[in-house]
């Protein structure tokens, strides 16, 4: 979710990952920073052996009154098969599509 308040950068938060936040000076910068923040967080979850939650539906996210003034943006990530998170992990290391 991207949001902007007067005299601030564009803030980014992830409804399915509370506490994961970032910001950018423009919408494009905020989206790029979102890709990096999400990729970093997912790498950590996989490396720690934690489950990645199923994504919330857009309807559920937008039905939250806190999100009425925010914009939902899809963040695309790609897996790089040549980089593994851990020697025993079946999941490839995630990286942004940047």
Q: What is the pLDDT of residues 10-45, one digit of tens each?
A: 999 999 999 999 999 999 999 999 999 999 999 999
Confidence of residue 83 (pLDDT cuts 50, 70, 90): very low
Find the mean pLDDT for residues 55-76.
88
Query: Tokens in use for 77?
Result: 């990530």
Find the CATH number of the domain harbouring 58. Answer: 3.30.160.250
- 27 or 75, greater pLDDT: 27
Three-state SS sequence of the chain: CEEECCCCCEEEECCCCCCCEEEECCHHHHHHHHHHHHHHHHHHHHHCCCCCCCCCCHHHHHHCHHHCCCECCCCCEEEEEEEECCCCCCCEEEEECC
Provide the whole-model pTM. Answer: 0.71
Domain range for 66: 2-96
How far apart are alpha carbons 21 and 40 in whole angstroms?
11
Number of domains in the chain: 1
């Amino acid at each position: 979710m991207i949001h902007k308040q007067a005299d601030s950068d564009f803030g980014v938060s992830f409804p399915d990952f509370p506490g994961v936040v970032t910001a950018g000076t423009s919408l494009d910068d905020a989206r790029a920073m979102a890709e990096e923040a999400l990729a970093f967080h997912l790498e950590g979850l996989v490396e720690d052996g934690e489950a990645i939650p199923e994504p919330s539906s857009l309807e559920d996210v937008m039905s939250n009154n806190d999100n009425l003034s925010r914009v939902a943006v899809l963040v695309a990530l790609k897996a790089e098969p040549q980089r593994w998170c851990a020697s025993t992990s079946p999941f490839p290391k995630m990286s942004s599509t940047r």
